[in-house]
Structure 1
Amino acid sequence: MGIPVLGPTASDVWAGASEKDHGDLSTRGTDVLPHIISSVSRRPSIYTMSREDRREFIEEVSEACFDCAARARLADLKVWFLTGDVTCPFPITAFWAVQDDDRERGGGFVDYKMLLGINHFMHWDDPEKAVQVYLEALA
């Protein structure tokens, strides 16, 4: 199946792929930081990537995860894919795609955990659970 090389979705752009036009940052005031309105001064990075750029990025990630020679050079490397079951759609479909890629290569390259009741701000919403999961991944 592989990770889909699609164009960005609205949630991708909202989640931070877009830039913001901040006010005077030297004031260190949070009132100069827009949180919703994206900049129109420059296209979001994801829109400057060609299909080929996205494909190459996916290939490089796949090599780091699944290439036996690359993994042999990093013998202690652990790769985890953590996602929550109440997050936006793309991380969940990517989770499934990486599982499929792992299975196609014989499995065991990536550890997976679908966290119940968790979105992409686990570290904020439930920091104790986040630390517990991170410690599990490091064990």
Structure 2
Amino acid sequence: MPSLALANGIEFQYTDSGIPTPQDVPYVTVIAVHGMGYNGGIFNRVQQLAKDTKLRIVAINRRQYVGSTPISDAEAALLVSGSDEQKAEVLAARGVELALFTVALIRQESIPPISTDRKGGGVALLGWSSGNVVTLAMVANIEKLPSDSKSCLATYVRALILQEPPSLAMGYPLPTGTWAPHMDPSIPAEQHTPFWAQWITSYFDHGDLSSRDPTALSYTVPSFTRRPTIYGMTADEQEQILDQSVSEMPGMFCSAAQALANTRKACFDRAVRALLPKMKIWHIAGARSASFAIPGRWSLEDDDKANGGALLNFILIPGVNHFMQWDDPQETLKAYLEAL
């Protein structure tokens, strides 16, 4: 797998779908950031299909995941036990690193800029699940970059795609009824991870999501009309993309206030948006995802309305779950293309 080292020595390993089949418009590069417990390999299936579209998908492994520079235990602990300022600094550092990776990749690969008609070119930032913590931190802290990097991103960034960020990853309060295996004291600790791997990859039959009523969500009982994604993965695939050793949940709980500040700054701060004038923001969710994926969408819709509306765009894909890019890559690619 290729890797890219930044000027500060931090290195990111990544996979690259490559330049698409020649088309009548410049290709768009999607930089995809994975969530918790799964590395960038979770995007393999959409990468395999990307060459037949106008997309080039580059999926990084975040720090703490295989091949990329680790974060020190002391720095990781700051998200739990640090001051408010220290927590904000740690999140900002992750965002700045992603920004510098993006600029370095643009220059290394001579990625085409956004075309004058917006039909092609440029870069889309895609966060999946807790990976949105990093992409939102990047946009929120764009002013911290060197001037040449800010200018580069202002020219290239065409979209920020929020693919199923949990409420917690964006800093919003957890709705009443929220449930996950790690939060249930009746489940033995040694069973948390295997239970979580099945639950989070399951399909759920919710009620009327347009009602925005939390009681319409199915929190604990998955549907058995389609097997959980984890059971469709081979042993080799699981070995290559699963990494349950990275503990991110405590840090997300304890730095929720800082994550919320980044979310609101990235999405609704007019000065920040002015630094990325070509960037549109889209939220993508699956209608059969686990319950944590839906309330965050409602919170964003409320904040969008409170800020005048029309700053965000929303896509809800019927029939797919939290692992849509693995189980339903064609439908997921359609959503990515719509968001560009």
Deviations for 1:42-99, whole angstroms, at most 9, x for unmatched residues? 8x22214554x11111111210000011001111111111001110111100011101
Given candidates 163, 171, 181, the residue that maps to 1:10 is 181
Whole-Å separation in 1 of the counterparts to 2:182 and 2:317: 20
Given candidates 245, 248, 252, the residue that maps to 1:45 is 248
In structure 2, give the amino acid aligned to 1:60.
N
Which residues in structure 2 correspond to 1:30-41 (within 5 Å)?
A: 30=236, 33=239, 39=245
Given candidates 310, 314, 331, the residue that maps to 1:112 is 314
Which residues in structure 2 correspond to 1:22-101 (within 5 Å)?
A: 30=236, 33=239, 39=245, 44-49=247-252, 51=254, 53-101=255-303
The Cα RMSD (Å) is 3.4
| Helix, strand or coil at the partner of 2:284 | strand
Shift of 1:116: 0.8
Given candidates 317, 327, 331, the residue that maps to 1:129 is 331
| Helix, strand or coil at the partner of 1:130 | helix
Query: What's the % identity of the aligned pairs?
Result: 32
CA 1:77–1:36: 2 relative to 1, 3 Å: closer
Whole-Å separation in 1 of the counterparts to 2:283 and 2:322: 12
In structure 2, give the amino acid aligned to 1:114.
L
User: Considering only CA atoms, is the larger Rg found in Structure 1 or Structure 2?
Assistant: 2
Aligned position for 1:19 = none
| TM-score normalized with structure 2 length | 0.31
Shift of 1:130: 1.1
Instruction: Identify unmatched segments of 5+ residues in structure 1.
Output: 16-28
Shift of 1:35: 8.8
Shift of 1:37: 9.9
CA 1:67–1:37: 2 relative to 1, 3 Å: closer
CA 1:86–1:106: 2 relative to 1, 3 Å: same
Whole-Å separation in 2 of the counterparts to 1:8 and 1:56: 23
Whole-Å separation in 2 of the counterparts to 1:61 and 1:90: 17
Greater per-residue helix proportion: 1
Whole-Å separation in 2 of the counterparts to 1:31 and 1:136: 29
In structure 1, give the amino acid aligned to 2:281.
V
Greater per-residue strand proportion: 2
Are the counterparts in 2 of residues 8 and 46 from structure 1 also a CA contact under 8 Å?
A: no
Aligned position for 1:26 = none
